[in-house]
Structure 1
Amino acid sequence: MNGKTVSCGIVLLDPIGRVLLAHATGTGHWDIPKGQGEPGETEAQSALREMVEETGIAIDAARLVDLGRFVYRRDKDLHLFAVRAEAGELDLSQCHCVSLFPRRYDGVMIPEMDAWAWVAPADVDQYASRSLARLFGTTLSLAGLHGQL
């Protein structure tokens, strides 16, 4: 291996091509649902588990389109999958995060993600981290993906 961690995630697009982003609690960052795999998991299993943990949305593995591995940051690559959201997955008021972490200043366990939004490709830069915005702006076109799915 190259020493990089690999984060597995899902690019979930709604019927008009907006991408699902989740707000990382206590930060200014919005991100796609993603995270590192657990021992014995395939990339697809990791991505599906992270989606459930961070949004409550359970997706059938058969719906995943494997986009492959992308350079993300110096220390991390992303293995991404794409899915077109179905009617029952569009209502973000149903989203919830069961993945918890200790808040920095008092150790209270809080959800990793605390808000969700459908974001148009042209608006991703206003939400996403520089790394994610760069990925969508260069290597992985959301508009192109919308046309593919």
Structure 2
Amino acid sequence: MSKHLSSGVVLFNARGEILLCHATQTRHWDIPKGMGDPGETRRETALREMREETGIVLAASRLCDLGEFDYRPDKALHLFGVRTAAGEIDPARCVCVSLFPSLRDGRAIPEMDAFRWVAPPDVARFASRSLGRLFAHSLPLDALFARLEAF
């Protein structure tokens, strides 16, 4: 079975917390990520998904390429990391413009409906098992935060 590839951004604030987005009509919180459009690079996909799912616009030069990771049996993630300055990003100002049909009534609703900073030890409480496992085993958040300081 071939895997689908999504690209996304692990966005840190100055305190080492990551931005998580609540996936509408689910229990899970996620990072901004998604499938590429035809002709897009992985970096372009990650930037577009960040913009569509949060309203945050980042310069491509700010993204540190973290590589590709197994996510689920049918999906891999190509991730980029960014470390922001204190006060640069306010989750209360985030807005998702990416819409999909509601499973309840078919009306168009935002893909993400809430945003928050989450400390690395708390990510597994909010995120799906797949995302929690990725950060616990393949991409430890504390080490990633330290790595991005030099980027």
TM > 0.5: yes
Question: Can you give the 5+ residue segments of structure 2 that lack an aligned partner in the other structure?
Answer: none
Q: In the TM superposition, what is the alpha-carbon distance from 1:85 to its structure 2 partner? A: 1.8
> How large is the Cα RMSD of the aligned pairs?
1.0
CA distance in 2, matches of 1:56, 1:89: 13
- 1:12-56 Cα offsets, whole Å, 9 max, x none, are 001111010000000001000000000000000000000000000
> Contact (CA 8 Å) 1:21, 1:116: kept in 2 or not?
yes
CA distance in 2, matches of 1:112, 1:86: 26
Count of residue pairs the alignment pairs up: 148
- 1:62-88 Cα offsets, whole Å, 9 max, x none, are 000000000000000000000012346
Give the ranges of 4+ consecutive aligned residues of structure 1 lying more than 3 Å apart after TM superposition.
86-89
The answer as to 2:16 corresponding to 1:17 is: yes
> 1:44-55 to 2 correspondence within 5 Å?
44-55=43-54
Normalising by structure 2, we get a TM-score of 0.95
- In structure 2, the partner of 1:75 is 74
In structure 2, give the amino acid aligned to 1:129: S
> Contact (CA 8 Å) 1:64, 1:82: kept in 2 or not?
yes
The alignment partner of 1:131 has SS state of helix
CA distance in 2, matches of 1:81, 1:27: 25
Question: Can you give the 5+ residue segments of structure 1 that lack an aligned partner in the other structure?
Answer: none
Normalising by structure 1, we get a TM-score of 0.96
> Contact (CA 8 Å) 1:125, 1:133: kept in 2 or not?
yes
> Contact (CA 8 Å) 1:57, 1:89: kept in 2 or not?
no
> Percent same amino acid among aligned pairs?
59
- In structure 2, the partner of 1:3 is 2
CA distance in 2, matches of 1:147, 1:12: 13
CA distance in 2, matches of 1:64, 1:27: 28
- In structure 2, the partner of 1:38 is 37
The alignment partner of 1:59 has SS state of coil
In structure 2, give the amino acid aligned to 1:6: L
CA distance in 2, matches of 1:28, 1:105: 15
> 1:1-149 to 2 correspondence within 5 Å?
3-87=2-86, 89-149=88-148
